[in-house]
Amino acid sequence: MSTISEAGAAAVPAAPSGAPLVVRTVEIDDPGVPLLRLLPESADPREVLSWVRRGEGLVGWGQAALHHTRGASRFAAAEDWWQRLAGRAVVRDEVGMPGTGPVCFASLPFAADSAEPASLVVPRVLVGHRGDRWWVTTCGVGPAPTPLLQATADPEAPQEVTFADGALSGAEWASRVAEAVNRITAGDLDKVVLARDLHVRAGGRVDPRWVLRQLAERYDTTWVFSVDGMLGATPELLVRRERGLVTSRVLAGTIRRTGDDAKDLTLAASLARSSKDLEEHEYAVRSVAEALAPHCSSTNVPESPFVLHLANVMHLATDVTGVATDSVSSLGLAAALHPSAAVGGTPTDLAVELIADLEGMDRGRYAGPVGWLDASGDGEWGIGLRSGCYQPGSDRDLRIFAGCGIVAGSDPEAEVGEADAKFVPMRDALSGR
């Protein structure tokens, strides 16, 4: 049950029998182990699915349906495919919460002209956990028994892992940052986010479950995700829609942690006062608030950001909230928000053009929306940051990514250091450190 659409021409998958998907959600007792420990070993890392934060969320495995779409209309094509598939499904939902019944995991590319398609996956088995409630959803072309859930064997750490420059070396990328600063200083634009990549090769198979567990243990405030070979730990919630309430967490402005608590508190204070970082943050918050406004009766934008402390860095953060006024789904809201100034720049169109000119690479699904939605349109979408992607046809080759917001006051060498800090989560998880 795999389909593909190009430039918005959505295709609806059909089972060999022509029957719709049969979906059943039942509540279960606490299985006694964390969500990520329930993921079974899979020969294909692209079949491992995750959206987990602080032990709660969703995991899944298998592919009841898989869809790829490309082009400028990729969001609309994805939405159309999902609505048709979910609308035809035979559903028995005994729980009735966001994330129950038919659920689709998805990851979409940053750029409309990316060679990498958007991926939408409906798992054969999904396990959810929220508060004190647990549930299992099965999905297929016919009824399926509720699986017996138990902890799986611990995955092995990757071996003989090496890292190499991707499209640009650190020095080459610094020169591109300097060029961007010159363009900003000249008044061409206000901000641009530039990213770079590293190529990763392991001596053998890289088990995605190892990477996910490492990320979850070290970065428990992030959303640990895996969709069709794209995996990581994003600290940035692009948008959540839940029964009419809309939330978006904006991150922009970063400083590296030292590991010394006293020094880090001083650094956090300096970050909160930094004119360069506050300017960068203001652009990002404004872009989110303006994108949400047409879909919300009211929005709340705090006057000042707070400092979000992660294991490796600290960010300026603002939570923007609103009340939805129309029937737009969480995926529709993600489409309206993408690309925010936090991953593109300001003005958006000029920033995206400059990214294409300077980065020298196809971002693929890096910095694109990643998350899930259910049949009601509720869902959660992060930005695919602190992430990597398995390369086509390989279970041991990946690309990992890091990016930085560039404004008039940016120092190229400092931005290289910031990018290096943002590589740390994936580097450490893949290195088995």
Q: Say how far residue 389 (Cα) sits from the centre of its chain.
A: 11
Which residues make Cβ contacts (< 8 Å) with residue 81, sequence separation at least 6? 3, 5, 10, 11, 12, 13, 67, 69, 120
Instruction: Evaluate whether 189 touches 354 at the Cβ level (below 8 Å).
Output: yes
CA nearest neighbour of 78 among 379, 419, 413: 379
- Active-site pick, 47, 79, 116, 191: 191
Q: Say how far residue 225 (Cα) sits from the centre of its chain.
A: 7
CA nearest neighbour of 379 among 315, 310, 297, 324: 324
CA nearest neighbour of 226 among 7, 4, 384, 20: 384
Four-CA torsion 3, 5, 9, 12, nearest 10 degrees = 10
CA distance 177 to 159: 34
Helices 208-218, 412-431: axis angle to 10 degrees equals 120
- Active-site pick, 47, 79, 116, 236: 236
State yes or no: is 422 an active-site residue: no
Instruction: Evaluate whether 399 touches 197 at the Cβ level (below 8 Å).
Output: yes
CA distance 117 to 101: 26
CA nearest neighbour of 178 among 302, 170, 143, 219: 170
Q: Which amino acid is at 18?
A: G
CA distance 367 to 338: 9
Which residues make Cβ contacts (< 8 Å) with residue 383, sequence separation at least 6? 234, 236, 238, 340, 342, 343, 367, 368, 369, 370
Which residues make Cβ contacts (< 8 Å) with residue 22, sequence separation at least 6? 89, 90, 139, 140, 141, 142, 143, 144
State yes or no: is 290 an active-site residue: no
Residues carrying an active site annotation: 191, 236
